[in-house]
């Protein structure tokens, strides 16, 4: 008998409406490390899974937006706390998925968690920074409030399995949107881990939904879904992004594509899925 204990391996599942189902299609696909070692059999999400996720996101959106900005900030901050306590595990996955050293992966995880904190602090600043009173010429009180676009589809970066994923999903969520994300096809496990952490972070069911699978199979369903208000195309190449962007025109989707002006301090991602609602009210006795 060997002294070594046989490890218990995890099944990597989808995150839809706060639950962790396998794909309704029953499919999975093999995920390997950058070095080619077997890592996991990830759920190969189907178009149906994606549509279910959109239904969940739509169902959660009004309530998420109706909760106080303070509350939304605390929920996102709680995610940072959960991630902080599991830094080593995240780093291990990032290192394997991205083929970088553990040391480098630890720095990636650190930045990703700091980003969570950044967005946690944004929730109750958005209205003040992007809204305001407008001095109209007339007896009206006029103010502009930023409001979420609604349901945002994220096709996450294929390369940056955690850091870019955090940015892509938390920017719209901080702004009051709910999200359906397609994780990196070859490097999905850090995103799946993050999804699991939302279950212990008071994230209401449906606010963040994560589907793993083949991007090429899933992306067009997200881009053409009539109940998706905006889409982030970070995880597809230029040709595919052109095509998906054109498909989104059918329902006048807000489309976010990475640009060279994007920096860590840029608010472009936050603004990408924010609307401005302007209210005029008469002033009188």
Partner 1 sequence: MTDNTVANSNLGSLEYDPAPESASIARIKTSYGLFIDGSFTEPSANEQFVTLNPATEQVLATVAQASTSDVDRAVAAARHAYETVWSKTTGAERSKYLFRIARLIQERARELAVVETLDNGKPIRESRDIDIPLAAAHFFYYAGWADKLDHAGFGVNPQPIGVAGQIIPWNFPLLMAAWKLAPALAAGNTCVLKPAETTPLSALLLAEILQQAELPPGVVNILTGDGATGAALVDHPGVDKIAFTGSTDVGRLIQSRVAASQKRLTLELGGKGANIVFEDAPIDEMIEGVIDGIFFNQGHVCCAGSRLLVQESIADEVLRRLVRRVEQLRVGDPMDKNTDVGAINSAAQLARITELTAIGEQEGATRYSSSCELPEKGYWFAPTIFADVSQSHRIARDEIFGPVLSVLTFRTPDEAVAKANNTNYGLACGVWSEKGSRTLWVAQRLRAGVIWANTYNRFDPTSPFGGVRESGFGREGGRHGLEAYLNV
Q: Which residues bind partner 1 (CB under 8 A)?
A: 129-130, 132, 134-138, 140, 142, 144, 147, 149-150, 229, 242-243, 245-252, 254-255, 261, 265-268, 271, 275-282
Q: ∠114-118-122 over CA atoms, to 5°? A: 165
Phi, psi (degrees; rounded to nearest 5) at 176: 100, 5
Of 101 and 134, the one with the shorter C-beta distance to partner 1 is: 134
Of 229 and 232, the one with the shorter C-beta distance to partner 1 is: 229
- Kindly state the smallest distance separating residue 207's Cβ from partner 1, in Å: 19
Residue pair 188/161 in contact by the 8 Å Cβ criterion: yes
Residue pair 2/33 in contact by the 8 Å Cβ criterion: no
- Kindly state the smallest distance separating residue 66's Cβ from partner 1, in Å: 8
Residue pair 24/46 in contact by the 8 Å Cβ criterion: yes
Of 92 and 229, the one with the shorter C-beta distance to partner 1 is: 229
Place of tokens 């449906």: 206
CA distance 174 to 151: 13
CA distance 243 to 232: 13
CA distance 196 to 17: 12
Give the three-state DSSP class for 75. helix
- Kindly state the smallest distance separating residue 276's Cβ from partner 1, in Å: 5
- Kindly state the smallest distance separating residue 33's Cβ from partner 1, in Å: 35
Of 1 and 252, the one with the shorter C-beta distance to partner 1 is: 252
Of 30 and 242, the one with the shorter C-beta distance to partner 1 is: 242
CA dihedral 151, 91, 237, 152 (to 10 degrees): 0
Of 113 and 274, the one with the shorter C-beta distance to partner 1 is: 274
- Kindly state the smallest distance separating residue 251's Cβ from partner 1, in Å: 6
- Kindly state the smallest distance separating residue 132's Cβ from partner 1, in Å: 7
Strands 230-232 and 151-155: parallel
Of 41 and 144, the one with the shorter C-beta distance to partner 1 is: 144
Write the burial class of residue 69 (CB in 10 Å: 0-12 exposed, 13-18 middle, 19+ buried).
middle
The closest alpha carbon to 16, from 183, 214, 132, 131, belongs to: 183
- Kindly state the smallest distance separating residue 255's Cβ from partner 1, in Å: 8
- Kindly state the smallest distance separating residue 224's Cβ from partner 1, in Å: 12
Of 11 and 251, the one with the shorter C-beta distance to partner 1 is: 251
């Amino acid at each position: 008998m060997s002294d070594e204990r046989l490890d218990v391996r995890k099944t990597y599942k989808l995150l839809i409406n706060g639950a962790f189902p396998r794909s309704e299609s029953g499919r999975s696909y093999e995920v390997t490390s950058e070095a080619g070692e077997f890592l996991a059999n990830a759920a190969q999400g189907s178009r149906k899974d994606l549509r279910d996720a959109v239904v969940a996101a739509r169902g959660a959106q009004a309530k998420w937006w109706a909760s106080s900005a303070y509350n939304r900030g605390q929920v996102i901050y709680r995610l940072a706390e959960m991630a902080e306590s599991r830094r080593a595990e995240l780093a291990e996955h990032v290192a394997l998925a991205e083929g970088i050293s553990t040391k480098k992966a630890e720095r990636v995880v650190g930045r990703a968690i700091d980003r969570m904190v950044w967005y946690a602090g944004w929730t109750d600043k958005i209205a003040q920074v992007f809204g305001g009173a407008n001095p109209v010429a007339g007896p009206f009180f006029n103010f502009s409030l930023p409001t979420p676009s609604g349901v945002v589809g994220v096709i996450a970066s294929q390369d940056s399995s955690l850091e870019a994923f955090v940015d892509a999903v938390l920017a719209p969520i901080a702004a009051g949107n709910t999200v359906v994300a397609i994780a990196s096809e070859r490097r999905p496990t850090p995103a799946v881990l993050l999804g699991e952490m939302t279950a212990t972070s008071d994230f209401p069911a449906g606010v963040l939904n994560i589907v793993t699978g083949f991007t090429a199979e899933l992306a067009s369903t997200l881009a053409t879904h009539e109940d998706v208000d905006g889409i982030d195309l970070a995880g597809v190449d230029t040709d595919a992004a052109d095509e998906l962007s054109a498909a989104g025109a059918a329902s006048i989707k807000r489309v976010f594509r990475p640009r060279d002006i994007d920096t860590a301090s840029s608010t472009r991602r936050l603004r990408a899925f924010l609307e401005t609602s302007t209210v005029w009210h008469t002033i009188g006795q």
